[in-house]
Amino acid sequence: MADAPDETDTAAWADMLNPPSCGADLVPLEAPAGAQGRPERRGDVDGWGRSERMRALARRLYQPVYDTWFRVEWEGLEHIPREGGALLVANHGGAIPSDAPVIMHGIESELGRPLYGLADNLFRSVPVIGTLWSRTGGVPANPDNAYRLLHDEQQLVLVFPEGTKGTGKHLRERYQLQRFGRGGFVEIAMRSGVPIVPLAIMGNDETMPIVWKSPRLAKAIGVPYVPVTANMFLFGPLLGLIVPLPAKIRIRVLPPVTFDVASNQEHYERALILEHAEAIRASIQHGVHDMLRQRKSVWRG
């Protein structure tokens, strides 16, 4: 994710969250601003496009999947603040990842706080899916949006620094965390004056493991990867990209990481940013390995 460019620019965030091949322009939402530069709320839909009615419906529909299919277990939820902004940083896995909806559902159900997910702006351009993505808390990943959510609105925000490098891992690479870009998530947390809460997730890499990829086809159609998943052998080529395997998912919330720097600075020391980014990646990797050592079965935990 030579001298690195200023991590606050759009290109740096696009590179951190997703490889350049995604091709999406990550631009701030063009919404009318309120008195403090925040997006304007319109009825049930806030300035980011999130609808609480839609989230409530999604929670009702997803609850059986969460409880029965993935049998999700949390530990360390007390580390997530009940108020104030925080940036949640997690490992990413599965060709079509299940970790984001699991985390969003769990935190909103357990803590009663909304959670916004930073992701590739590519989703917003897809008819129907783009609208549903926004209504359920998806926000285009760029530093302006992240700052407004974290600093101005004091929200909880979720990010996966591995991006598609994490979801595009081969089965033999499962639970081997990829690079966390160039630390853009650390810099935006510093600038926003909020802690980073690391999440270690186990089970996500087995929900839709990749057994083969076609780099040539992916390049031709302009996507990060075209996978053949283990699910396809069980459910067929179409359902195999929709139906995840029922791996048991465990999520360990690690202690918050705070920064002894002033917020709202234009620049932060590059070495310090990279040091924190690698330390956070290493702590998540350690948490994942620790849970794997304790696990007796992919399906039962």
3-class SS string, 65-97: HHHHHCCCEEECHHHCCCCCCEEEEECCCCCCC
Asked whether residue 35 is domain-assigned, the answer is: no
Q: Is residue 177 part of a domain?
A: yes
Q: Characterize 7-25 residue by residue with b for buried, 16 or more Cβ atoms within 10 angstroms of its Cβ, and e for exposed.
A: bbebebbbbbbbbeebebe
- Examine residue 184 and state whether it is found in any structural domain, yes or no: yes
How do residues 180-216 score in pLDDT, each as one tens digit?
989 999 999 999 999 999 999 999 999 999 999 989 9
Q: How many domains does the chain have?
A: 1
Give this prediction's pTM: 0.84
In a domain, residue 255? The reply is: yes
Joined tokens for residue 187: 């810099």
Q: 117 is in which domain, residue-wise?
A: 10-28+52-294
Residue 2 is assigned to a structural domain of this protein: no
The number of angstroms, rounded, from the C-alpha of 122 to the middle of its chain's C-alpha atoms is 15
- pLDDT for the residue numbered 222: 86
Residue 43 lies in a domain: no
Q: What is the CATH number of the domain that holds 171?
A: 3.40.1130
- pLDDT over threshold 70, residue 295: yes
Q: How far apart are the first and last CA of the chain?
A: 33
Q: 44 in a domain, yes or no?
A: no
Task: Determine, yes or no, domain membership for 36.
Answer: no
Alpha carbon distances (Å) from 29 to 25, 32, 44, 146, 250? 12, 9, 18, 11, 34
Residue 221 has a pLDDT of 87
pLDDT tens digit sequence for 52-87: 999 999 999 999 999 999 999 999 999 999 999 999
